[in-house]
Structure formats: C-alpha cells, structure tokens
Structure 1
C-alpha cells in the first residue's frame, strides 16, 4: 500500500517540475513599453491593445500599455521619462504633440533604448525624433482621400466634428478634407470635447444654425456616435453626407442603414501588433536593421495568418509601414463589422 506522504511528495515534485518547465518557456524574452495619449474613456484603443497582446504572445515578450487617464498630453512627458528611467528593452509612443514630447523622447535616445512611433504624428516627426520607424496613417492624406470622395458627390461645405482638439494632428484630417473640396477647414471645424451629451448638443446646435451644411465628418467613434444620434433626431439621416474615421458597432450599424457613407479605417490592430513585433524581432536578432526585421515580419506565418483572418492590409514603404487609410463601405461592412472593436 502506498503511503499518503509518498503520494503527496510525488505530486509536489510533479507540480514543481511542471512549474519550472512552464516558467522556462513563459518567461518573456524582452520587456517593452507602449505609451499613448488616449484617455481611459476612449474604447477605440481596445483594438490597439488586442494587437499588442497578440504580438506579446506570438513573440514571447511582455508589453506595458500606459496612457494618461484623462488624455492630458503633458502627462505623457512623465510616462516617457519613466520609460527611460526604467530601461525598457524598447518603447513605442504616439506623437500627440511633437514640441511637448521631444525633450522626453530624447532621453530614450540618450540611453540607446530603441523606440518606434505609432498612430499619431508624421513620418518626418518620427524621423526627427530618432525613431526606428513609424506605424500609422498619414492624417492629412486620409482626410484628403475622404474629401475627394465627398467632392465627387458634389460636396462643397462641411462640418468637421473634432473630439480631440488637444492633439494638433487631428486637425490634419479636417484640413485634408477641406482642401479636397475647396472649403476653409478652420471655419468648418467644431471643438466638441469628449462628453457624448455635449457632443450631440453642440452638433445639433451647429447644424440648426448652419442649415446649408452639406456634409459632416467625424474623427472617430467618440464623436461619431453622438453625431449619429444628432443627425437622426434632426431628421437628416440619409440626407446629409456623413463620413467618419474609425469604426465601432454604432458606426457599423450606421453604414448598414445608410446614415454614414463610409468609415476611413486606419487598422488599429496593426498599430498595436507591428511595433511590438518589430521590436521583438530586432531584440531577438540583436540587429537594429529595420529593413531586415521588416522582411522577417512579412514572412512570419503567424503574422500572415492574422492578416488573412482579419482582412488587414499594411502598406510597406521604404522605412515606415502605413496602416491606412482604407475604407469601410456598404460593400465590405459585413466582414468588418463582425470584427469591429476587437481586430478592426
């Protein structure tokens, strides 16, 4: 008869063995930091976080996602200073305000911490900061491409609903759209803040006092969702030309029912996945050659599988990778809406 003590010792030894084996494989090979300007209330960034999480799993790394809770760009400075002090293996940061952030980012460079910029900011700003590369959507180009579609429909006047005017580059979307249709973007832009009730009220008031407004452009779900409600309550759904940036379930529904013509898509999943994957590949190979790392990523079977599963299409350039602009229309909304908020 086997003694209870012997059985307990064998079980303990087995558990320790499994734990050691699991630990040997689960221990991350690198620790990265991903810093954004987004407030906690902005659910759009959940898709970016999903991309980060998947890249962590695919490349066996650990990434901290950090952001100023209220979206205060000044607080980003402290987050970047902390990243430099903590000696992360790599950092990803948005460029919400180039002039405000460049001093803090220089500390990363001084400590030879490799970093990549993502989402907002221009490719030139990224290069000037000393980043390895930029992964994002050229904002002016995205606005202009949307505007060219409006121009083809005869649109000459518009309202740009800007819910994150604290980010200077947000105005590039409005400016690109205005330039495309020949309208003054400054006079056509409304700073609405982030409170849904306030946004709906401000948009409603503007459209009542400017009845000749032909089009509405919103810069993301935070402003799109309340604007959809405003347009519906005013009886303008399907009558006023309406387009937006980025998708969520409300935007998807509005595209299906004809309230919103299309959504300009910057493929946020890629903005989370690609920077972490690139840092991981370079860390693993001890090689800062961005071109070589990109070639390896392009051939990575897990990455290819994600692109196919989620219908994603990055644009590879000489140095950077563009995640947009793409367009979500009534023709492809069914495929995309099933993934909205998670992978699209």
Structure 2
C-alpha cells in the first residue's frame, strides 16, 4: 500500500533504485567502515567520508548508516563514517576528511554556519561534497553539489494541517536540539498551519531530562492535547511523560524505528512523518559514486526529496516488515 503523501508535498526528481540486500540485524554496525566489502561494480575503489551530527543512541542514524553501507557495498566504496553532535567538532571531522584526501564527502548541515569553512576547504581540493538530512536552505549557497532529504518546513505544515483535521486544540512541538535548522523549521511549519502550538526545547542528549520536562509541561497545562516530537525515541519518551502526568494528550512524531512502528500499531503513537533515512544515506553515497565515475549530478540544481509521508494505522503494515529488518 502506498504511503499517504502530505497534502503540501513539494515535488522533486524521482529515482528508481535497485537496492541491494542489507543486514537484517538492528542497531549500529560494528565499526566505522562497514559496507566496504567487495562491490558489484567494476569501477576503481573509492573512499567516501560521511560525517553527521548524530547524537549517540539515536536510532534514526542506524537507518541512515545502513543505507550508506548498502550503497558503498554496491559501488566498491570504502565508507568512513564519523559523527559528532557539536557543530565545531563535526566541522573538524570534515576538515580531517579533506586532509586525508578522500574522494568525496557526504555531510549533514544541521548548523550550516559552522560547516562553511570545512566545506570550502573540500572545494579548494576538488573534493565533491553532497549534503543530506539537514540544510535544505543552506547547501546550494555553500557550493554543495546535491541535497537529499525532506523540506522540514513543508513537513511541519502538513503536521499542523493534520492536527487541525483531528480536532486538536493545543499542541507542543518538542525540539531536542536548539539551533538545529531542520528541527526548528519543522516546528515553525507546524505553528504556521496550527497556530495553537507552543515550542518546547529539551536536552536531547539526556533522555531522563526530556521525560521530566515534557511531564512537567503536561502537568502545568492540562489543555495540551497533542505532543509532536521530532524523532522516534522522543515520541516513545513522550508516551511515558503523558502517562506520568495523567494526560490524555496524543502523540505524533517525525521519523520511525522498529519500536515506534510497534507503538503506532498499538495505538500509543498516532502517526509518524517518514523522511526515509535509509534512502537519504543510500543516495548520499551513491550520488558521489555517480559523480566521480560518470559526472552525473542528481536533482538539476534542486533538492531531491525523500519525504515527507505520513505513516499511521492505515498503512503501517506496508513498512512494518522493513522496520523489523532495521531499514525503516
């Protein structure tokens, strides 16, 4: 069954991909360079660095990484994955990749200003850079070749419209990292189409603190009838917060993992906005191989959208088996 598309979905180039099989085991892979075994292409061996703003423990990035590893395996690429949630440290990782003369770099731009110098250094050495997941409004001015992800603001607008359709009266939108451009765009979009939305900032690196902060907010304001989170682990925590507070607030979220799929099936979470992180990781790596081996650039100067789409009880079975395999 096709996933529900958000009404305000912005069109982009559509690609048909032949995905290779990947591990059915969940969780992180063993080390930084998996998926770099023998490929199925006959192009020379390449080295690609992928540098993200992953917060350790956030299962979203397991899906990104599995997609990247699948593409790396197919394309005979040595994948060097690294991450740091602090923007200056992430920029240092990009600079290290530049200094080690990798063939290409895939990077997230959650805090673009901090990344500009390192991205410019890559350009000075003719190392192609693509962006994915975060930085929809920043990648092109920075000279990045391609972008793969969803438009956070459009996705948020779709969420706000859904809240209205469901008869919500007051919502909180929970941001787990202040200053992250995509997260803030999502909540801004929610507020645009559902003005009765309050932004709640939490410390996403401390899940007990997230739980207590949401609990306190729900206790303070019993009029809140919807909690919107921006990641699957935070949605599951919000479920516990609502129970702690004795609140009947419903939970909706961005992004999925296997536990979140079960929560939708069980009714604890109403829906999730899917941006297909496996696909983001896959396209980021595969696009660099295409550029390096054949001069191809995807998207015609526009972002290639991997979402958004709603997943709820009406279509959850379409992705449940993939979620069990750790790729949705």
| TM-score in terms of structure 2 length | 0.82
Q: Is the 8 A contact 2:235 2:251 kept in 1?
A: no
Q: CA RMSD in A?
A: 2.2
Q: CA 1:56–1:254 in 2, change beyond 3 Å: closer, same or farther?
A: same
Aligned position for 1:76: 90
Q: Deviation per CA, 1:40-68: give whole Å up to 9, x if none.
A: 22221011111011101111111111112
State the distance in 2 between where 1:255 and 1:262 align. 6
Q: Deviation per CA, 1:112-152: give whole Å up to 9, x if none.
A: 11110000111x31111111110011111111111111111
Corresponding residue to 1:55 among 50, 71, 76: 71
Whether 1:97 and 2:111 are equivalent positions in the alignment is: yes
State the distance in 1 between where 2:145 and 2:224 align. 43
Identify unmatched segments of 5+ residues in structure 2: 1-37
Deviation at 1:329, TM superposition (A): 0.8
Structure 1: which 4+ aligned runs deviate by more than 4 Å?
A: 25-28
Which secondary structure does the structure 2 equivalent of 1:103 belong to? helix
Q: Is the 8 A contact 2:146 2:301 kept in 1?
A: no
Q: Is the 8 A contact 1:142 1:176 kept in 2?
A: yes
Q: Is the 8 A contact 1:146 1:177 kept in 2?
A: yes
Q: Deviation per CA, 1:256-308: give whole Å up to 9, x if none.
A: 122221100010001110111111122122x2x41xxx4xxxxxxxxxxxxxx
Aligned position for 1:343: 327
Whether 1:174 and 2:187 are equivalent positions in the alignment is: yes
Q: Is the 8 A contact 1:214 1:240 kept in 2?
A: yes
Between 250-259 and 57-66, report the one with greater CA deviation. Answer: 250-259
Q: Is the 8 A contact 1:158 1:213 kept in 2?
A: yes
Aligned position for 1:145: 158
Q: Is the 8 A contact 1:163 1:222 kept in 2?
A: no
Larger Rg: 1
State the distance in 2 between where 1:221 and 1:166 align. 20
Between 323-332 and 191-200, report the one with greater CA deviation. Answer: 191-200
Aligned position for 1:330: 313
Q: CA 1:206–1:27 in 2, change beyond 3 Å: closer, same or farther?
A: same
Deviation at 1:154, TM superposition (A): 2.4
Aligned position for 2:52: 36
Aligned position for 2:290: 281
Higher RCO (C-alpha 8 Å, min separation 6): 2
Identify unmatched segments of 5+ residues in structure 1: 1-21, 295-315
Whether 1:132 and 2:116 are equivalent positions in the alignment is: no
State the distance in 2 between where 1:164 and 1:251 align. 20
Deviation at 1:319, TM superposition (A): 2.9
Aligned position for 1:193: 204
Aligned residue pairs total: 290
Q: Is the 8 A contact 1:162 1:191 kept in 2?
A: yes
State the distance in 2 between where 1:194 and 1:34 align. 22
Q: How does 1:1-344 map onto structure 2 within 5 Å?
A: 29-68=45-84, 71-122=85-136, 124-183=137-196, 187-236=198-247, 239-285=248-294, 287=295, 289-290=296-297, 294=298, 319-340=302-323, 342-344=326-328
Q: Is the 8 A contact 2:235 2:269 kept in 1?
A: no
Which secondary structure does the structure 1 equivalent of 2:50 belong to? strand
Q: Is the 8 A contact 1:243 1:263 kept in 2?
A: yes
